[in-house]
Structure 1
Amino acid sequence: MKASVVLSLLAYLVVPSGAYILGRCTVAKKLHDGGLDYFEGYSLENWVCLAYFESKFNPMAIYENTQDGYIGFGLFQIRGSDWCGDHGRNRCHMSCS
């Protein structure tokens, strides 16, 4: 149950309605409201730090790692090959774009 809530929250944060950079407090509030504070033992501060260093709070960030052969999407740079798209496992059953 918690996993589906987390994946839903991540999907919301990965594909927002507009292209903009979120503020640190906005990210913290969305993660807190989504129940990520101490999810799997990681504090809200850990999640916010991860989002900052992965995407600088840009929910539309896309990083193509040509060396390792994957593309990362969104705040947490979720690998498209595992979580979205037509060519991978598509565990979230959604498009990466």
Structure 2
Amino acid sequence: MKAAGILALIGCLITGAESKVYTRCKLAKIFARAGLDNYMGFSLGNWICMAYYESHYNTTAQTVLDDGSIDYGIFQINSFTWCRQAKQQEKNHCHVACSALITDDLTDAILCAKKIIKETQGMNYWQGWKKHCEGRELSDWKKGCEVS
């Protein structure tokens, strides 16, 4: 009977990392509190639009790329340059484990995204932003969300 209980516990732990998919307005509030509105000149609408097209607001989103690296979390931050997945060749510019980018707590992901904005060419790092958000009117992304 103990073995069955232990197996059940292990099963819960393995499946315990359920994905959290934020609503647009909840994410707008989190982003606003984190100081993303007009961070490095990018409006809150840019951040909300980018997160939608990168991950559909899914905190556990992961995309394996052709080079073997993985994009993680709500911002789809790449393992080769920005976070530590376990391989030595990774640069880990954000000084964070990739697993920290796929939790419901967005603190590490937001800090890393801010670093990316500073160290690269702004939001051009994110292809979803370039294709769907760049140069567009983005005020509707925060409409009705009770953020200024």
TM-score calculated relative to the size of structure 1: 0.74
TM-score calculated relative to the size of structure 2: 0.50
Partner deviation per Cα, 1:30-53 (whole Å, 9 max, x = no partner): 110010101111100010000000
Superposition deviation, residue 26 in structure 1: 1.1
Partner deviation per Cα, 1:28-82 (whole Å, 9 max, x = no partner): 111100101011111000100000000000011000112x543110111001111
Greater RCO structure (CA 8 Å; 6+ sep): 2
Which runs of 5 or more structure 2 residues have no equivalent in the other structure? Answer: 1-16, 100-148
CA distance in 2, matches of 1:69, 1:41: 33
Q: Which residue of 1 aligns with 2:72?
A: 73
CA distance in 1, matches of 2:36, 2:18: 23
One-letter code of the match for 2:93?
A: R
Identify, as 1 or 2, the structure richer in helix. 2
One-letter code of the match for 1:77?
A: Q
Superposition deviation, residue 18 in structure 1: 5.4
Larger radius of gyration: 2
Identify, as 1 or 2, the structure richer in strand. 1
Which runs of 5 or more structure 1 residues have no equivalent in the other structure? Answer: 1-16
Superposition deviation, residue 19 in structure 1: 2.2
Structure 1 runs of 4+ off > 2 angstroms?
none
Q: Which residue of 2 aligns with 1:93?
A: 95
List aligned pairs for 1:3-82, cutoff 5 A.
Answer: 19-66=19-66, 68-82=67-81
CA distance in 2, matches of 1:35, 1:95: 23
CA distance in 1, matches of 2:93, 2:56: 25
> Could you say what the CA RMSD is over the residues aligned between the two structures, in angstroms?
1.6
Superposition deviation, residue 20 in structure 1: 1.5
CA distance in 2, matches of 1:29, 1:19: 19
